[in-house]
Chains A and B, each alone.
With several copies, the nearest count.
Chain A
Amino acid sequence: MGTHRENADAQAAGAAAGAVREPDWERVRGDFPVLHRLVRGRPLVYFDNAATTQKPAIVIRTECEYYGTCTANVHRAIHFMAEEATRRYEAVRAAAARFVDAPGAASTVVTRGTTEAINLVARGWAIPRLKPGDRILVTGMEHHSNLVPWQMAARATGAELRSIPVDDAGELDLRRLPELLGNRTRLLALTHVSNVLGTVNPVRQLADAAHAAGAAVLVDAAQSVAHMPVSMAALGADFLAFSGHKMCGPTGVGFLCARPERLEEMEPVFGGGEMIARVEETESTWAEIPHRFEAGTPNIAGVIGMGAAFEVFSELGMDAVQRRDAMLTRVALEQLAAVPGLRIVGAAPDRIGVVAFALEDAHPHDVAQLLDRDGIAIRAGHMCAQPLLRRFGHAALNRASLAFYNRPEEFDVLAESLVRARRALAGGRE
C-alpha cells in the first residue's frame, strides 16, 4: 500500500498530513476488467467517467450471483428464493441511505437513476402543490435532468422557473440570491457538483437560505457521490437523487432519498403492482412509503449488484477517494493547461476532476474522434447542459472526467493525443 507516486502525492494533498494509509490504487484498478482492454490496439484510457463509470468485478459477480442462485421477484412471494432476493434487495436500499447519510431506508425510493428520481419529485411533489406565481429556483449549471422536469412542472402549474446565474469562473453568482428566492419559491433544485465545470456548489449555504425562505431543497448528487463524502444531513437537503452507474454500480439503478415528511407529501406517479394497499374496481389506496413510489417489478439484479458498489466505496473510504480525486484533478489541470490552444472552461477552486475544455480551431466531435484512435475515451457535445454551454459561448465542448482508478500517467497520454489531434485538423494552416 501507498508505494506509488500518486499515493505520496495524495497523502501530501490530504488534509490530515499525518499517517494516512491510502488504498493501493493499482490493485484497486486491477479489479476493473474493462481497464485491461485494448481499444483500437491501444490500452484503453477512460476519461468519460462523468457519463458512466467502469464496474469492478465484484459488482458484475454480485449481479450474476443473483441470477445464478436466487432469481425471484421481490416482496410478494413466500418461497426461499423470493425471500433471499427480497432480503438482498432491501439491504441495498438501507445501504444507499447510509451511504449518503439519508434519514433512512424507509424514505429511500429505488429508481432507474437520477433522472427518474428528480422526475418523481417534479410530478409527484411539485406539480400537485405548486400554484401560479409560485417559483422554482434552479441554477445555470444544471444537467438537463434537473432542468427539464422543472420546466415541465412550471408549465403544468403556472409556476415560474428562475435560475441562479453562473459567473465567469463557473461558480454560482449569489449576489442576487435573496431576490431570486423572494418569498414564493417553493423549491430550490440544484446540483451538488456540475457535470461540466466540476464546480462543487455551496449547497448548505443555499439550502439554509432556501429553507429560511420557506422552500424545500432538492440536491442532484449524480456527480458528487463517486468523488467525495456526501451527507444529505450536512447538505440540508429535503430530497437527494443519485445514480448507481456513475459510482461503479450497474446501469438502471438510482435512488431518491428524502426526508420522510416530504415523501409522505408526495403522490405516486406510476400505478401498478407493489405500490398499492387495496385495489377496488375504480379506485385504490397506496402502500406505505417508499413502496408507494415503486410500481412494478424493479431492476432487482441491478439493485443487488449495487450493494457491492456501495461496499467498494465504503472499503476504500470516501476520504481516500476524495484525496485521490484531488491529486488526479491537479495533474489533469496541469497537463491540459499545457496543451497549446486549449482553454479550460471553469475555474472554481472547489472542484472535482470533471474538466471541460475547448481546443482552438478543432471541433469537439473531431477531437473526441481523433482521441478515440489513440484508445482515449473523452466526451464531446453539449454534455446535457445546453444553457450552461451557451453561457460560456459554446454549443459543444470536450470533457475529460476521471475516477479513482485513473492513473496520473494517463493525462500525459491525453495531452499528447490532444496535441496530435489539433495538428491533424489544422494541417497546413497551423
Chain B
Amino acid sequence: MYSPSRWSARGGPSPVDANDLYQEVLLDHFRHPRNHGTLADGEVLADEENPNCGDRIRLAVRLAPDGTVADIRFDGRGCAISTASASIMTAHARGRPAGELSDLADRFSAMMRAEIPFEEGGVEDLAALAGVRSFPLRVKCATMAWHALKKALARAAEKPFSGRS
C-alpha cells in the first residue's frame, strides 16, 4: 500500500493546508466528472481497485488507426481526488497519441510521489492535483486513474474498441 520511498523522499514538498487539496477546479471535476458514465463489462479495458478504501475505476479506451485516443470513458466509485483525477486525465487523453499518454502516466506518478518536480506540462487543470503531494495517503487516489490508463492503452493496442455491446 504505502511505498516507503514515498514517505522518506528527501526534500519533498512541505505540508500545505488541506484547503489546497479541495480547490474549486478539483471539486468541479468531482461534481461534474468529464467522460464519466456506466460502462458495459465488455468494453472495460482496465479495472483498478484500492482495497484500502474500496475505490474503483473502470476504463474504456478506443484507439484511432493513427494510435491516438479516439474515445475514453470511465466509471467506478471514488473520492473527490480520484474522481477529479480521472476526469482531468480523460479530458486530456482524448485525441492524444497512446505512447505520449503512457509516458505522461509514468511522469504523473513520479510527480505525485515527489520524485520529480510538479509541472502541469500542458495538461489542463492538472495543477489542481499538485496539493496531493503533501498528503502521501492520498497519492494513490490521484494516481489510480493513470495506472488504469497505462493498462488500458496497452490492451487497446491489441484489442479494437468494441463500443457498447
Chain B residues within an 8 Å CB radius of A90: 2, 4, 6-8
Interface size of B by CB at 8 A reads: 33
Q: A108's closest neighbor in chain B, by CB?
A: B4
Q: A83-B136, A363-B79 are in contact. Are A370 and B18 (CB under 8 A)?
A: yes
Chain B residues within an 8 Å CB radius of A426: 31
A28 at the interface (CB under 8 A from B): no
Q: A365-B79, A380-B53 are in contact. Are A424 and B27 (CB under 8 A)?
A: yes
Decide: A424 and B135 in contact? CB cutoff 8 A: no
Number of A-B contacts (CB under 8 A): 110
Decide: A370 and B1 in contact? CB cutoff 8 A: no
Contact of A424 among B22, B51, B79, B141 (CB under 8 A): B22
Contact of A382 among B17, B22, B52, B135 (CB under 8 A): B52
A93 at the interface (CB under 8 A from B): yes
Tell me the bound Cα distance from A112 to B8 in angstroms: 21
Contact of B22 among A40, A87, A370, A396 (CB under 8 A): A370
Tell me the bound Cα distance from A94 to B5 in angstroms: 7
Interchain nearest-CB distance for B53 vs A (Å): 5
Contact of B1 among A77, A91, A277, A369 (CB under 8 A): A277
Tell me the bound Cα distance from A379 to B138 in angstroms: 14
Decide: B135 and A87 in contact? CB cutoff 8 A: no
Interchain nearest-CB distance for B47 vs A (Å): 14
Interchain nearest-CB distance for A261 vs B (Å): 17
B123 at the interface (CB under 8 A from A): no
Q: A40-B17, A425-B80 are in contact. Are A75 and B2 (CB under 8 A)?
A: yes
Q: A84's closest neighbor in chain B, by CB?
A: B15
Q: B141's closest neighbor in chain A, by CB?
A: A365
A394 at the interface (CB under 8 A from B): yes
Tell me the bound Cα distance from A407 to B144 in angstroms: 39
Q: A97's closest neighbor in chain B, by CB?
A: B4
Tell me the bound Cα distance from A429 to B138 in angstroms: 24
Chain A residues within an 8 Å CB radius of B6: 90
B54 at the interface (CB under 8 A from A): yes
Decide: B22 and A277 in contact? CB cutoff 8 A: no
Chain B residues within 8 Å of A, Cβ to Cβ: 1-8, 15, 17-19, 21-22, 27-28, 30-31, 51-55, 77-81, 135-138, 141
Chain A residues within 8 Å of B, Cβ to Cβ: 40, 75, 77-78, 80, 83, 86-87, 89-91, 93-95, 104-106, 108, 277-278, 287-288, 290-291, 363-366, 369-370, 372-373, 380-382, 386, 389, 394-396, 424-429
Beyond the given A288-B3, A366-B22, could you list 5 further A-B residue pairs with CB under 8 A, ordered by the A residue number?
A40-B17, A278-B51, A363-B78, A363-B79, A369-B135
